[in-house]
Amino acid sequence: MADRLTDILVAPVTAVDPSSWDAALEEAKGILAGLAVRRAGAGPFRVTGHEVRAALCGDAADHAEQPPFAWSAHTARRALGLAAVRLLVAGGARSPVEAVRARLGESSGWIRDGDPCASRLDRWVAGLSPAGRTAVGAEAVTWATRLWCALDWSALGSPLGIGRDRWWDSPHSALLALRSRAEVRTDRTNFVVLSGPRRESVRAELALVTLVESLRTRGGAVPGRVVGWWPDSGHLVRVEPEPAVLTLGAEAVALVLAGADAPVRSAA
Amino acid sequence: MATTKIPKIAKKATFVAGASGTRDRAMQLPGYVTPRGHTAPMVLVAPRPLLRSAPPGVAPADRGSGREVLALLRGDTAARPRFDPELAGGLRAWLEDAAYDVVTKRGEHAPSLFLGPSQLLGLPAGWRDHEGLSDELILSRLAHALFGQLVHEGELGDPLRDALDALRASGAGALVGHVESLSAAARAALSETLASHAANMKEMVPRFAPGWMPRTNDRVAIPLAGGRVMLHGSFDLLVGLPQPGTASLCALGLSTSGPWARERRSLHYLALLETLRSGTPPFRLALLESATGRYGVEDVREEHLRAIASHLCAWLATGPHG
């Protein structure tokens, strides 16, 4: 698994015709500009892969009825797991168990010392009983171990970004922002850990990453590929940076903002 | 001595168990598929005497059974089995054929079929389908919470309090609320039963060094027929580093209610899912029964995987999934 995934992550990115790419990027910018203008006065809206999935799978209404967000072992595992993997890559821990333990210890220390960098997650973790904290740590260990064992980290090269979301803020409206979520970023690939079942919307979810990376890049440079990976099944989906992917991403954003569930043209 | 009825193919596998198994015997287990007719006879599983509840918070100093389980899991490191690289593809093709037959019968647009051990192998003893929280289900959730704590921390405080704290942090508020709403007598009985399970687990659950990469509740979900049929399950505990082409993982399952044969098949089912996920199965499985302190460790063999795949295909062909 590690070899196969790593080979995909370090493979050269498919060459793209610059004029086609530029045209698609301009078209996507035009779509987004129109959306921003239409939404003026409608309140802030942040589009993430989650919203794309909800809109395309037709379950946006179901999501609206879900209880409000609350921290739990499940919702905390990614943040804690990513911190653990960062520590492992940096050589600060020898195993996911040690890395997660260190991260949980940081939470307690920051709260005890009144450190201003403590987050809501830190406050929640620090307030748990020892048994509760162990349960939270166990989920994070499983999450981190799967990611840590999935890749040959020494072969990925540098620079290496782990778990930093990137946002694109619309220049036409401060109310519209798009998020690019990837667990691991190299100069050639954005690697996304996926959950839930395999679904038709996944290419549009990953196209949003390509779109945001393209919009953030200066000079119209073509970003790396996006690779989505389901640790539950070992399956992966690969989205190369092609002009059609930009269109797919922009249309997905339009669909989210429209609150409709009409089908989006496939980039495949 | 208990005997269990097992599939014809799997019957040829050796199973080293709690009281009757020995470490030396386990060390001699071949790591490859034994030719037909040359397999060792099944070692019958002998249940240990039912242990009485131990005082909470008192752990055996040397974790006697846990060390034995660890030694059995480690086994002979030079004899790790290698599985046919085509095995996973063959099993998947077999299951895909069966899944597509189901899709043909149910229709392309029928909702996806999510199948776990409960559907495919039957419910564990005492569990009731669609009837809310049975006592056995509650006990299982509580015991599994303690199992995770033992794996990662090695110690327990008050079992019921720890288990409820762990479940509360895991978002299982409804179950916690249910337990907390029990009468004092019912809660005391539950606490005593859980303490008995906890005492057995303290003896049986090995202490894993962090380098073994222990991870609890590792979910596997394998889509078939383009996701219209989903086989899913969760390893209670996986240890080991995945290595390409080599079976390098061990899986441990915790059973709170049995029956033993059903729980053992459930582990075989998970081994099959791991084969489909990563290309190789775990090389060794351990089953721990917290009610009795009984445990067993066995090598995974191709026969196990074929037998459970055959069962799944038969279930898909005839099961109640219309």
Per-residue pLDDT reduced to its tens digit, B248-257 = 899 999 999 8
Residues of chain B neighbouring A96 (CB-CB closer than 8 A): 210, 213, 215
The residue written with tokens 């072992």 in the block is A73
Cβ separation of A72 and B170 shorter than 8 Å? yes
- B108 shares its domain with B212: yes
Residue A230 pLDDT level (bands cut at 50, 70, 90) = very high
- B170 shares its domain with B62: no
Q: How many CB atoms lie within 10 A of CB A212?
A: 26
Are the C-beta atoms of A129 and B166 separated by less than 8 Å?
no
Q: What is the pLDDT of residue A44?
A: 65
Q: What is the pLDDT of residue A264?
A: 44
Nearest chain B CA: its distance from A24 CA (Å): 31
- B26 shares its domain with B101: yes
* Separation of alpha carbons A4 and A145, rounded Å: 17
Q: What is the pLDDT of residue B27?
A: 33
Domain total of chain B: 2
Are the C-beta atoms of A148 and B180 separated by less than 8 Å?
no
Shortest CA distance from B208: residue in chain A = A97
Backbone phi, psi, residue B116, to 5°:
-120, -175
- B9 pLDDT above the threshold of 70: no
Q: To the nearest whole percent, how much of chain B has pLDDT over 70?
A: 76
Residues 7-66 of A with CB under 8 A from B: none
The residue written with tokens 């779509």 in the block is A31
Residues 240-299 of B with CB under 8 A from A: 241-242, 244, 276-279
Q: To the nearest whole percent, how much of chain B has pLDDT over 90?
A: 58
- B262 shares its domain with B283: yes
Which range is least confidently modeled, A42-46, B102-106, B197-201?
Answer: A42-46
Of B168, B169, B277, the CB nearest to A233: B277
DSSP B226: G
* Separation of alpha carbons B133 and B127, rounded Å: 8
Q: Is A233 in the B-facing interface, judged by CB distances under 8 Å?
A: yes
Amino acid at B205: V
CATH code of A184's domain: 3.90.320
Cβ separation of A73 and B169 shorter than 8 Å? yes
- What is the per-residue pLDDT across B220-238, written as a single tens digit (0 to 9) for each? 999 999 999 999 999 999 9
Q: Which domain holds residue B241?
A: 10-120+208-318
Q: Which domain holds residue A171?
A: 1-268
Residues of chain B neighbouring A137 (CB-CB closer than 8 A): 152
DSSP A171: S
Average pLDDT rounded to a whole number, residues B118-136: 75
Q: Among the residues of B28-172, which ranges form H helices?
A: 64-74, 87-106, 117-121, 135-153, 159-169
- Distance (Å) of CA A231 to CA A87, A137, A147, B72: 21, 19, 8, 28
- B273 pLDDT above the threshold of 80: yes
- B98 shares its domain with B142: no
- What is the per-residue pLDDT across B34-69, written as a single tens digit (0 to 9) for each? 333 333 333 333 333 332 333 333 333 334 578 888
Residues of chain B neighbouring A131 (CB-CB closer than 8 A): 145, 149, 157, 161-163, 165-166, 169
Q: What is the pLDDT of residue A42?
A: 62
- Residues facing residue B113 across a β-bridge: B229
Are the C-beta atoms of B259 and B6 separated by less than 8 Å?
no
Q: What is the pLDDT of residue B100?
A: 93
Pick the last residue of a domain from B203, B221, B255: B203
Q: What is the pLDDT of residue A43?
A: 63
* Separation of alpha carbons B130 and B20, rounded Å: 39
In a domain, B137, yes or no: yes
Of A128, A136, A142, the CB nearest to B215: A142
- What is the per-residue pLDDT across B155-164, written as a single tens digit (0 to 9) for each? 999 999 999 9
Q: Is A77 in the B-facing interface, judged by CB distances under 8 Å?
A: no
- B161 shares its domain with B213: no
- Residues facing residue B299 across a β-bridge: B284
Are the C-beta atoms of B50 and B21 separated by less than 8 Å?
no
Pick the last residue of a domain from B203, B227, B249: B203
* Separation of alpha carbons B25 and B14, rounded Å: 10
Q: Radius of gyration over alpha carbons of chain B, in Å?
A: 20
- Report which of A149, A138, A72, A148 is spatially closest to residue A100, judged by C-alpha positions: A138
Q: Is A136 in the B-facing interface, judged by CB distances under 8 Å?
A: yes
Q: What is the pLDDT of residue B67?
A: 85
- B260 pLDDT above the threshold of 60: yes
Q: What is the pLDDT of residue A64?
A: 58
Residues of chain B neighbouring A232 (CB-CB closer than 8 A): 219-221, 232, 277
Question: Cα A179–A216–A27 angle (5° rounding)?
Answer: 90
Nearest chain B CA: its distance from A131 CA (Å): 5
Cβ separation of B149 and A141 shorter than 8 Å? no
- B29 shares its domain with B62: yes
Q: What is the pLDDT of residue B242?
A: 79
- What is the per-residue pLDDT across A2-41, written as a single tens digit (0 to 9) for each? 688 999 999 998 889 999 999 999 999 999 998 876 665 5
Cβ separation of B153 and A134 shorter than 8 Å? yes
In a domain, B2, yes or no: no
Pick the last residue of a domain from B203, B232, B252: B203
- B138 shares its domain with B226: no
Average pLDDT rounded to a whole number, residues B120-146: 82
Tell me which of A107, A124, A129 to substitute to probe the interface with B (most B C-beta atoms closer than 10 Å): A129
- Between B258 and B282, residue with greater pLDDT: B282
Are the C-beta atoms of B252 and B232 separated by less than 8 Å?
no
Structure tokens at A205: 């979810």
Question: What sign has the CA pseudo-torsion A232, B92, B308, A1?
Answer: negative
Residues 140-199 of A with CB under 8 A from B: 141-142, 145-146, 149, 197-199
Residues of chain A neighbouring B162 (CB-CB closer than 8 A): 129, 131
Shortest CA distance from B234: residue in chain A = A232
- Between B95 and A268, residue with greater pLDDT: B95
Residue A167 pLDDT level (bands cut at 50, 70, 90) = very high
Q: Is B85 in the A-facing interface, judged by CB distances under 8 Å?
A: no
- B258 shares its domain with B179: no
Question: What sign has the CA pseudo-torsion B265, B271, B272, B273?
Answer: positive
- Between B285 and A259, residue with greater pLDDT: B285
Residues of chain B neighbouring A136 (CB-CB closer than 8 A): 169-170
Q: Is A70 in the B-facing interface, judged by CB distances under 8 Å?
A: yes
Residue A59 pLDDT level (bands cut at 50, 70, 90) = low
Cβ separation of B223 and A134 shorter than 8 Å? no
Residue B75 pLDDT level (bands cut at 50, 70, 90) = confident
- From the centroid of its chain, how far is CA A260? 23
Cβ separation of B149 and A1 shorter than 8 Å? no
- B107 shares its domain with B213: yes
- B60 shares its domain with B191: no
Residues of chain A neighbouring B278 (CB-CB closer than 8 A): 1, 234
Domain total of chain A: 1
In a domain, B214, yes or no: yes
